Structure formats: C-alpha cells, structure tokens
C-alpha cells in the first residue's frame, strides 16, 4: 500500500510516498530556513506564506507527476494535524483535504510528535514493543512508552524550554546563528580537550522522575557570556569551549534519563526521534550507554528533522481514516493523543 504523507508543522514543506509503511519511494523537503536566519528564529507568518507557495510543487515532485494530469497510484493521504504553528499546519491540512476530495482517497490525520517516532520504522528492522521513545525537537523533549502502535504513554517531558530550543537560544547568545543545534555541534568539534574548564549545570539529572528542564542552562550561559564580555575574554576559543560544554550538558541529561526509563520499563527497543536526535554526540553517548538487551534505533539525520516520510509510515501502522469534519489543525496536540 502506498501512502502520500504531507508535513507542514513548522518551517518545512514536505511530502513523501511510502510503500507498506517502510519503503521510501520519494521524500521531498523544502525549507524556508534561509528566510529566518537573520532573525535567529522562525517567523510564523513567513513560514506559512512560503508553505503556500511550495506545497503544490513539493507534492508534485514527490508524486513524480502534475496534480491535474491523472489520479496518482496511492491508496491514502496522511497529514500532520498538530502540534505546530497554526498557519503552517492549516496549509498542509487544507491541501490534504482538497486532494482527498479530488482523488476520492481516505485521509489519515497524524500527530507530529508520534510521527517523529516512525522514522524508526523506516529502518531495515522493525522495533519491538515495549519501545521507549525520546522525542527531542525545537518545541518538545518527551519520553514515552509505546506498548503498541495504539498505546503511547507519556512518562515525562520538559518543564520549560525544549532541548532544541536550548541549543537554539544558547547559539544566539554565542552569535552562532539559527538553527543552533547544528551550529553548536560544529563549534564544539573545534574544542579538542576531554573536559571544558567552564562548568555548566546538568539540570534535573538526579531527579526521581522523567522530566527535564533546560531554561536554567540557558540562563547560566547568558551569565557566563556577560562576565566574559565584561572581562574582554569573549573570543573564538571560548565560544568553542562553551559550545562543547553546552552540548555535553544537554546530552548528559537526555542520555541519563532515557537509559533510566528503558531500565524501569524493561523496554526492548529504544527509539530516538526529532531534530535534536541528529546530534552526533547524543547518538554516540546513547550507543555507549545502551546494553545488549535493548535494540537502539537511530534514524539517519535527514529523517530526524522534519520530513513527511515518518508521517506516511505512521499512517500505515495506524490506518485510521477520518471524516473531513474531524480533520482539524490543532496547534497544541500532546504526544499521547491518538487522533480518531
Ligand atoms: O524536529 P525538528 O526538525 O523540528 C521541530 O519539530 O521542532 O527539530 C528542530 C530542532 C532545532 O531546535 C535544531 O536546533 C535541532 O532540532 N537540531 C539539532 C541538530 N540538528 C537539528 N540539535 C542538535 N544537534 C543537531 N545536529
Ligand atoms: Zn518536528
């Protein structure tokens, strides 16, 4: 079965065709990133306008045909309905409805955060349940237990900033531009020592729950930068060292809490998902800390960041088409909410 996936929850406009939930036939992503780089963050109005401009050409490229030529050989359409930026979500949702009506195909609404997890079903091997998922993106840091495709339990999440948001805000303090995760990761590589002389906090690393908190880390970076600037010591070398320590602090906490959750819930698989899971250091540490009893799944970086392939895969494994009236963009959907 071939499913067309559509994803427009943030600044990407993405479409993909997936066969039987696992085989990528095509995966097209257009990003408005360059237009946001000057401002150091996404401007929702600009993102949605770009998505309106790109959505039809992106879907045509994924299908390999013009929309008005013939009915494409797909069985269903999957679309992200939330969470995300409301203007952006509406572009994908309303386009999907229009195409479903035109081609008389079923439409399956998908939760963006659950969708991220399905990048792990695009691997050669299928994850087994119970699976522990870490979803770390620009807007979310969640730990979930998947007992089956339909049973997702939220174990904990960030109480303030998401891990990606922390990378982005710290990068802005260090004048490294947007998006901050890849920028900090690049800078950190220039620091060649094992340990930094600057020490940053590992917030909530010892707390007896599965929650995170990253806003204190950002404030600690802000204070350090201020002091260094006052002493005229804010230079390129310090920026690399701070980047190294920021990356170590964020990944230390993510790894510690995730491994603790896999042990408590006796997970058979560990699934990394979301833009931050593209981080090489996080991947490396997670590989070091998992034992042989657990299968660690880490999608390739292009499937970690926003794209439509996992959205279509999710729809295959949870084939729950809905009537048009029930398919509504919902910017504040939580990771546990199944859409049916
Ligand atoms: O999942 P995603 O593409 O979009 C959202 O749903 O938010 O995640 C974007 C986030 C940004 O905060 C970005 O800085 C972060 O993922 N990110 C990374 C890396 N690549 C993207 N963070 C750390 N290291 C990376 N290599
Ligand atoms: Zn995302």
List pLDDT tens digits, range 253-294.
999 999 999 999 999 999 999 999 999 999 999 999 998 899
Pocket test for ligand 1, best of 29, 85, 164 (most atoms within 8 A of CB): 164
Q: Is the pLDDT of residue 38 over 80?
A: no
- The answer to whether residues 289 and 238 touch, using CB atoms and an 8 Å cutoff, is no
Predicted local confidence at residue 124, as pLDDT: 81
Predicted local confidence at residue 324, as pLDDT: 95
Q: Tokens 């790894």 correspond to what residue?
A: 255
Predicted local confidence at residue 136, as pLDDT: 98
Predicted local confidence at residue 39, as pLDDT: 73
Distance 114 CA to ligand 2 centre (A): 10
What CATH number does the domain located at 126-298 have?
Answer: 3.30.420.40
Q: Is the pLDDT of residue 340 over 80?
A: no
Distance 249 CA to ligand 2 centre (A): 22
Residue having the nearest C-alpha atom to atom 14 of ligand 1: 181
Q: Is the pLDDT of residue 176 over 90?
A: yes
DSSP E strands in 98-181: the ranges are: 107-111, 131-136, 141-146, 152-157
Residue having the nearest C-alpha atom to atom 10 of ligand 1: 138
Using alpha carbons only, what angle is made at residue 337 by residues 324 and 119, rounded to the nearest 5 degrees?
Answer: 90
Residue having the nearest C-alpha atom to atom 22 of ligand 1: 181
105-145 pLDDT, tens digit per residue, is: 999 999 999 999 999 999 889 999 999 999 999 999 999 99
- The answer to whether residues 297 and 267 touch, using CB atoms and an 8 Å cutoff, is no
150-159 pLDDT, tens digit per residue, is: 999 999 999 9
Who's near 137: CB < 8 A, 6+ residues apart? 113, 116, 162, 163, 164, 274, 275, 276, 306
88-113 pLDDT, tens digit per residue, is: 999 999 999 999 999 999 999 999 99
Q: Quick one: which ligand is closest to 139's CA? A: 1
Q: What is the rounded distance in angstroms from the CA atom of residue 340 to the CA atom of residue 334?
A: 14
Ligand 1 within 6 A of CB of 168: yes
- The answer to whether residues 79 and 111 touch, using CB atoms and an 8 Å cutoff, is no
pLDDT mean over 198-217: 97
Domain coordinates in residue numbering, the chain? 2-118+303-326, 126-298
| Nearest one of 247, 225, 246, 223 to 234, comparing CA atoms | 225
CB atoms within 10 A of CB 124: 5
**For 9, phi and psi rounded to 5 degrees?**
-80, -20
Q: Which atom of ligand 1 is nearest to the CA of 165?
A: 12
Evaluate whether 2-118+303-326 and 126-298 have a shared fold. Answer: yes
Ligand 1 within 6 A of CB of 179: yes
Ligand 1 within 6 A of CB of 306: yes
Work out whether the CA dihedral 124, 126, 131, 134 comes out positive or negative: positive
Q: Tokens 């590989």 correspond to what residue?
A: 287
Distance 238 CA to ligand 2 centre (A): 31
Q: What is the rounded distance in angstroms from the CA atom of residue 130 to the CA atom of residue 151?
A: 10
DSSP summary character for residue 193: S
Between strands 141-146 and 131-136, the pairing is antiparallel
Ligand 1 within 6 A of CB of 115: no
Mean of all residue pLDDT scores within the chain: 95
Ligand 1 within 6 A of CB of 138: yes
Distance 180 CA to ligand 1 centre (A): 8
Predicted local confidence at residue 36, as pLDDT: 73
Residue having the nearest C-alpha atom to atom 23 of ligand 1: 181
pLDDT mean over 42-61: 94
Predicted local confidence at residue 64, as pLDDT: 96
- The answer to whether residues 180 and 41 touch, using CB atoms and an 8 Å cutoff, is no
Q: What is the rounded distance in angstroms from the CA atom of residue 83 to the CA atom of residue 336?
A: 11
CATH homologous superfamily for the domain 2-118+303-326: ATPase, nucleotide binding domain (3.30.420.40)
Q: pLDDT confidence of 42, banded at 50, 70, 90?
A: confident
Residue having the nearest C-alpha atom to atom 6 of ligand 1: 137
Predicted local confidence at residue 174, as pLDDT: 97
Ligand 1 within 6 A of CB of 310: no
């Amino acid at each position: 079965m071939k499913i067309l996936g559509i994803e427009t929850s943030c600044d990407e406009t993405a479409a993909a065709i997936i066969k039987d939930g696992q085989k990528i036939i095509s995966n097209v992503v257009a990003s408005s990133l360059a237009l946001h780089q000057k401002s150091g963050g996404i401007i929702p109005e600009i993102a949605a306008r770009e998505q309106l401009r790109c959505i039809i050409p992106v879907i045509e490229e994924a299908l390999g045909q013009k929309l008005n030529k013939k009915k494409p050989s797909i069985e269903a359409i999957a679309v992200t309905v939330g969470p995300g930026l409301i203007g952006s979500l509406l572009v994908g949702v309303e386009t999907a409805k229009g195409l479903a009506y035109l081609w008389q195909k079923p439409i399956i609404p998908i939760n963006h955060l659950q969708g991220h997890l399905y990048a792990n079903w695009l691997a050669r091997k299928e994850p087994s349940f119970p699976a522990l998922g870490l979803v770390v993106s620009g807007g979310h840091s969640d730990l979930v237990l998947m007992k089956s495709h339909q049973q997702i339990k939220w174990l904990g999440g960030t109480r303030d900033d998401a891990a990606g948001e922390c990378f982005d805000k710290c990068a802005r303090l260090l004048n490294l531009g947007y998006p901050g995760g890849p920028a900090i990761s690049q800078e950190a590589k220039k620091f060649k020592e094992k340990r930094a002389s600057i020490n940053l906090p590992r917030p909530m690393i010892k707390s007896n729950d599965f929650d995170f908190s990253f806003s204190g880390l950002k404030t600690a970076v802000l204070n350090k930068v201020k002091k260094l600037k006052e002493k005229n010591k804010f230079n390129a070398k310090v920026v690399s060292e701070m980047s190294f320590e920021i990356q170590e602090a964020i990944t230390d906490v993510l790894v510690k809490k995730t491994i603790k959750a896999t042990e408590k819930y006796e997970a058979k698989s560990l699934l990394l998902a979301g833009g931050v899971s593209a981080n090489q250091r996080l991947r490396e540490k997670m590989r070091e800390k998992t034992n042989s009893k657990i299968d660690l799944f880490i999608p390739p970086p292009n499937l970690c960041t926003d794209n439509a392939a996992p959205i279509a895969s999710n729809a295959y494994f949870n084939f729950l088409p809905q009537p048009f009236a029930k398919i509504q963009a919902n910017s504040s959907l939580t990771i546990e909410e199944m859409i049916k």
